[in-house]
Amino acid sequence: MSGHWTKHDMDFLGGRRQRRTRQFAWSRDLVRETVLTPADLIWPLFIIDGHNERTTIKTMPGVERLSVDLAVEAARAAAAEGIPALALFPNTPDHLRSEDGQEAYNPENLMCRALSAIKQAVPGIGLIADVALDEYSSDGQDGLVRDGLILNDETIEVMIRSALVQTRAGADIIAPSDMMDGRVGAIRAALDDEGLENTAIMSYAAKYASAFYGPFREAVGSGARLKGDKRTYQMDFGNSDEALREVAQDIDEGADMVMVKPGMPYLDIVRRVRSELNIPVFAYQVSGEYAMITLAGAAGAIDRTAAMIESLYAFKRAGASGVLTYFALETARLLNA
């Protein structure tokens, strides 16, 4: 074959030119395999005490902790853009944190007040309540600790009580994020026994012990007080078959949907869960992922907006039913423009 191509030289390709459908924006839209809409997004919000209060998070530029009244306004903004659900995370005041995490099941705690206020003001938006003790404990662990050991069954008893007060306050979905064995089944049974069988469970089924959680721990106030690490209950990042076992167990125990966390470093897990177990699977684009894109954009290393959209498409392409992302409102507004 000569060094100059002609249309006849394409005969060996059977006349196929893959670039034809890429020529124009409209043709690319026609054949796009993956679509991202505001309905694919869940917006995590950090809640603080006070009124008309907002505080910055140093490691998450553009994300703020909001008092309950401002969280209500954020919920209205989300609903107006077609975002279907919010995920709430409280930054519990220091004086209410304790070794036994009892503030987790106080029906007047910060989480419950936020759930109630948002549900009353914006009844059409879904509310996902995180269930774990790191937001209430004095040691930053997701479970109760005795002699340096994380107690599995005792932690579950506290989580059941927490899930019940959250549901009564307005949570539509309970999201246990602690990775204790058996907690999904125990919470499901407790909800059903209390006549709360319509409350769904989104299990953090494959939650890895990850370096990408750092900014989140600052946001909820658990990072500085964390003693030790979480490797005895969060997953080893070298494993994927184990993730499938965790997910399968949570499904058997009554989870309605599952989550993979972190997101982009674990797209292979998202794909395997969707392909092999065929259950609604969500990915959490965690604080470290948000920080990387935002800080790289601020440094001029990447186009922040383009990277934001590309990253969210990656989750959908991998098979995620939806994405928890701090970019949710910004993305929804961009998609709706």
Q: How far is CA 161 from CA 121, 131, 154, 166, in A?
A: 25, 10, 12, 9
List all residues 6 or more positions away from 147 whose beta carbon is below 8 Å from its beta carbon: none
pTM, rounded to two decimals:
0.94
What are the residues facing 235 on neighbouring strands? 208
* Main-chain dihedrals φ then ψ at residue 147, nearest 5 degrees: 55, 40
Check whether the bond before 90 is cis (ω within 30° of 0): no
Catalytic, out of 119, 230, 261, 316: 261
**202-261: pLDDT as tens digits:** 999 999 999 999 888 888 866 667 777 899 999 999 999 999 999 999 999 999 999 999
Tokens of 65: 């902790």
Report the amino acid identity of residue 166.
Q
Confidence of residue 306 (pLDDT cuts 50, 70, 90): very high
Query: Is domain 37-336 in CATH 3.20.20.70, yes or no?
Result: yes
Q: Known catalytic residue: 207? A: yes
Strands of the chain, DSSP E: 41-48, 54-56, 64-67, 85-90, 126-131, 144-146, 149-151, 173-176, 200-207, 257-261, 281-285, 322-325
Catalytic, out of 119, 207, 230, 316: 207
Q: Is the pLDDT of residue 13 over 90?
A: no
